[in-house]
Amino acid sequence: ATVVRRADYTAPAFWIDTVHLCFDLDPAKTRVLNKMTLRRNPDVPAAALRLDGDDLNLARVLVNGAGTSFKMDSGQLVLENLPEGNEPFALEIFTTCAPVKNTKLMGLYVSNESFFTQCEAEGFRRITYFMDRPDVMASFTVTLRADKEKYPVLLSNGNLTDSGDLDDGRHFATWIDPHKKPCYLFALVAGKLVCREQHIISRSGKEHLLQVYVRPGDMDKTEHAMQSLIKSVIWDEARFGLPLDLERFMIVATSDFNMGAMENKGLNIFNTKYVLANQATATDVDFANIESVVGHEYFHNWTGNRITCRDWFQLSLKEGLTVFRDQEFSMDLCADPSARAVKRIEDVRVLRTAQFPEDAGPMAHPVRPDSYIEINNFYTVTIYEKGAEVVRMMQTLVGRAGFAKGMTLYFARHDGSAVTCDDFAQAVADANPDSALAKLLPQFKRWYSQAGTPRLAATATYDAEAHTYTLNFAQSCPATPGQESKEPFVIPVSLGLIGAASGAALPLQVHGQSNVGDSHLFVMTQASESITFEKVLEEPVPSILRGFSAPVVVDYAYTDAQLLALLANDPDPFNRWEAGQRLALLIAIKYIASDAGGSSAIGQNDTYISAMRAVLRHPTLDAAFKELVLTLPSETYIADQLEVIDPQRIHAVREAMREQLATALFEDWQWAYAAHSQNGAYQPDTLSSGRRALAGLALNYLCLAARSSGDAIWPGKAYQRFKDADNMTDRFNALNALVQSGHALATPALARFHSLFQFEELVLDKWFALQAGCTDRGGQVLPAVRQLLKHPNFNIRNPNRARSLIFSYCSANPGAFHRADAAGYVFWSEHVLELDAINPQVAARLARALDRWKKLAEPYRHAAQAALQRVAAKADLSNDVREVISRALA
């Protein structure tokens, strides 16, 4: 396998100005005629033209209409005898491919008898020979021809300029994209689809046609996606002055898709999971995800499409920035500051449970990686979520208005080109010359080049006589593969102080500074640094890293009393939630350490329980926030805090803590359920979804408590709720409560759920995922999963279904997966190999389930290593899986 290195980048030897593609669509043999005009790039030394190709049958190559010599080299079509000079020349290439055999879902493939494409990152080469790299931008004209009855809808990027009937029941459509684009943004769709459409007039007075295409039968699930799209258009124009630059913007849903969605210019292709929703089939979380993914893809139209990446090492240029934009979009749509904070907490939870472990494991890489074997393996939480945090820190350092100015300068400088992460950071800094970002730019950019999660160790001293309070910080960053030592980062630390006794937010007076507020941004640049606050009249508790102002771990030896003070009083909702999580973590870690391998009995934890009761019963905190505070840190997050991971021990302690919360707060949960379960007509807004989330958590705890007491009332109520609910959120929460508490009523409820929704693919995914992710009591989950593999609704070729069963078990259910008998790992290795033969991208994601095997306690560690070695021993592994497994074993 070849290693691709960022340092080896060279500009292309040729430019492709225009591309005219003509497709004769046929599932078994699609013909592709590719007519291009090219010219030599005068800025680089003359070289042969190398065109990428993969799984194509080449029939003809003509240069300026005449046959030419060519050779094949490592899958590339190499043309050496091309016209000299800088004049454009015509190149015509005729190939065929077999979409129906394309199980990788990259390039042109068939799903439910329709044609779809996926070209990012390197799928276009599976459609035709091309310079498949993002810095080659061309004008595309596309003609599609297909059987009219089977494929009545023919779509591609841009504007429809011609269409009509052909002989033999076939028809055609020609699309011209007015914008130059890299080939990874090319798309076509052909099939039996219906669409919801809406005309909108944008701020500038231009009219646009918005369309959402789905399979017939799914029209009643398209309203929310359309509304999300309209909101996205309005938001990007209002917040960043970025208008829709197309007459027509289309979204098409397919149920076979490797990722969430794809931002092809004017023709976004989506996984159905992120389009289809109505109250009967989708949960509040689904509704929220759809809004944010529709926003994300739409926002790519500027950050990604108008300005794209010079090479794939710059992937976070578009992904980190666009995640940041979709996070801001969701926050700006929130009705109040509390809902904004809830969204921020949810985003940080994803970062800490998925990205922090990645940054500490064998796949750790910088936000701008230096090398890769398979680019598909680098669509990671580091590129996306950590990348978004890096952009967020820039905004913190230049302010919201300053950041908007930075965006404006970025577009003024680079619109229509393919650029680097450096170009983006430079634009934001140059637009804010007096900012801390501008002054610290070279050091700030270490966030792009150094992998690993920095740790910020804090200590404090209070001088009660001088009324000064000093916080000392020391930063460090662990070694990561290929990076032994790290230079200090620029860390924006948002700080506050809370009176330990009064609970009041203390005014912050920093020596030598005139402004006094109750929050202060301390920009740390050295390995160790201090800050002193003056006129501190009472002993404070530090509120460090408010709003999670940097993607770091804060080590401060908080006492329980300090955490309780923050939980009760911190005006920063993020740190208020964080205090509750720290309290729970302290308890979990104490019991995990106290008796490795022994009983899971835990002590009283009265203070914690009372604090949780106070939050639950709090008169003004909102329901969504309470739900987050009362949810214990995940097993994965707890594991990430430990040097050695005993997954069974972690599971047992966390379950014991859940049972304790369930029984000790039984009456409070009853109250919470009653107070939050009537919500009137269903609306997926943040307020009512927060109420449903809290009612769902309450029901979960009530059924869990019933398990210990033997009481049948709450399981009975949950079953009733499950049957009567008028929306999927309440119905699924009730089902979840029965399944997770292991109550006998779970069996009929699951059967009923299946029969109600057997024709709803996305709901069946939930049904599979719930069973595979269920709390293990005595090892029943793996046999159930194996049984479900044989279910008539299971299909390993469909990524959503594979994820719902296999991934939910291997990657999202540590208590069931890490078995002392190694059977979970055997299951994992079998399915990595099976999937690799079908869809390497999906297989490589599954392969990552054992990333952290070196931290496992015995007997898990050896068993996991053996499973990895079994996979590694397979001779014809894909590059995708080989890269993940080799890094894990290195």
Q: How far is the CB of 268 from ligand HT7 (least distance, A)?
A: 9
Q: How far is the CB of 292 from Zn ion (least distance, A)?
A: 11
Q: Which of 263, 202, 241 is nearest to 409 (CA)?
A: 241
| CB-closest chain residue to ligand HT7 | 259
- Binding mask 256-285 vs ligand HT7 (x if CB under 6 A, - otherwise)? --xx-xxx----------------------
Toward Zn ion, which CB reaches closer, 258 or 636?
258
Q: Name the token pair of 445.
A: 């950019």
- Helix 860-872 vs helix 879-889: crossing angle, to nearest 10: 140
- Binding mask 210-249 vs ligand HT7 (x if CB under 6 A, - otherwise)? ----------------------------------------
Told to check if 376 binds ligand HT7 by CB under 6 A, we report yes
* Residue 355 CB partners (closer than 8 Å, separation 6+): 380, 381, 382, 385, 386, 453, 551
Toward Zn ion, which CB reaches closer, 268 or 648?
268
Peptide bond into 859 cis (omega under 30): yes
Toward ligand HT7, which CB reaches closer, 741 or 841?
841
Toward ligand HT7, which CB reaches closer, 261 or 579?
261
Told to check if 296 binds ligand HT7 by CB under 6 A, we report yes
- Residue 310 touches which of Zn ion, ligand HT7, none (CB < 5 to 8 A by kind)? none
Q: How far is the CB of 374 from ligand HT7 (least distance, A)?
A: 10
Number of residues that bind ligand HT7 (CB under 6 A): 15
- Residue 882 touches which of Zn ion, ligand HT7, none (CB < 5 to 8 A by kind)? none
Span of 254-262, 768-776, 809-817, 868-876 interacting with ligand HT7 by CB under 6 A = 254-262
Beta strands 468-476; 455-463: pairing state:
antiparallel
- Binding mask 317-336 vs Zn ion (x if CB under 5 A, - otherwise)? --x--x--------------
- Helix 421-430 vs helix 400-414: crossing angle, to nearest 10: 120
Q: How far is the CB of 794 from ligand HT7 (least distance, A)?
A: 23
Span of 292-300, 657-665, 672-680, 806-814 interacting with ligand HT7 by CB under 6 A = 292-300
Binding residue for ligand HT7 (CB under 6 A) from 25, 36, 110, 121?
Answer: 121
Instruction: Tell me if 449 sits within 8 A of 387, measured CB to CB.
Output: no
Cβ-defined contacts of 599-605 (< 8 Å, 24+): 600/649, 600/652, 600/653, 600/655, 600/656, 601/656, 602/653, 602/656, 602/657, 602/660, 605/657, 605/660
- Residue 376 touches which of Zn ion, ligand HT7, none (CB < 5 to 8 A by kind)? ligand HT7
Residue 387 one-letter amino acid: G
Please name every residue paired with 456 in a beta bridge, in sequence order, or none if there are none.
Answer: 475, 554
Q: How far is the CB of 379 from Zn ion (least distance, A)?
A: 9
Toward ligand HT7, which CB reaches closer, 261 or 554?
261
Q: H or E element: which one contains 33? A: strand 30-40
- Residue 379 touches which of ligand HT7, Zn ion, none (CB < 5 to 8 A by kind)? ligand HT7
Which positions are catalytic?
A: 297
Toward ligand HT7, which CB reaches closer, 567 or 846?
846
Q: Which residue has the tokens 């401060």?
A: 556
Binding residue for ligand HT7 (CB under 6 A) from 52, 319, 640, 760?
Answer: 319
- Cα–Cα distance measured from residue 357 to residue 639, given in angstroms and rounded to the nearest whole number: 9
- Binding mask 826-845 vs ligand HT7 (x if CB under 6 A, - otherwise)? ---------------x----
- Cα–Cα distance measured from residue 474 to residue 467, given in angstroms and rounded to the nearest whole number: 23
* CA triple 708-709-715, angle to 5 deg: 90
- Residue 883 touches which of Zn ion, ligand HT7, none (CB < 5 to 8 A by kind)? none
Q: H or E element: which one contains 432? A: none
Toward Zn ion, which CB reaches closer, 52 or 319?
319
Told to check if 118 binds ligand HT7 by CB under 6 A, we report yes
The CA–CA distances, whole Å, from 306 to 141, 232, 887 equal: 18, 17, 35
- Residue 407 touches which of Zn ion, ligand HT7, none (CB < 5 to 8 A by kind)? none
Told to check if 379 binds ligand HT7 by CB under 6 A, we report yes
- Residue 564 touches which of ligand HT7, Zn ion, none (CB < 5 to 8 A by kind)? none
- Cα–Cα distance measured from residue 458 to residue 471, given in angstroms and rounded to the nearest whole number: 7
DSSP 508: B
Q: Which residue has the tokens 């032994």?
A: 484
Instruction: Tell me if 851 sits within 8 A of 888, measured CB to CB.
Output: yes
Toward Zn ion, which CB reaches closer, 311 or 319?
319
Residues 475-504 binding Zn ion (CB under 5 A) are: none
- Residue 121 touches which of Zn ion, ligand HT7, none (CB < 5 to 8 A by kind)? ligand HT7
The CA–CA distances, whole Å, from 56 to 77, 95, 144, 533 equal: 11, 6, 18, 67
DSSP string of 462-496, one letter each residue: EETTTTEEEEEEEEE---BTTB---PPPPEEEEEE
Q: How far is the CB of 315 from Zn ion (least distance, A)?
A: 9
Q: H or E element: which one contains 711? A: none
Toward ligand HT7, which CB reaches closer, 40 or 296?
296
> Please, where are the H alpha helices in 741-857?
746-757, 761-772, 781-789, 799-802, 808-810, 814-817, 823-838, 840-847
Instruction: Tell me if 848 sits within 8 A of 884, measured CB to CB.
Output: yes
Q: Which residues bind Zn ion (CB under 5 A)?
A: 319, 322
Q: Which residues bind ligand HT7 (CB under 6 A)?
A: 118, 120-121, 258-259, 261-263, 296-297, 300, 319, 376, 379, 841
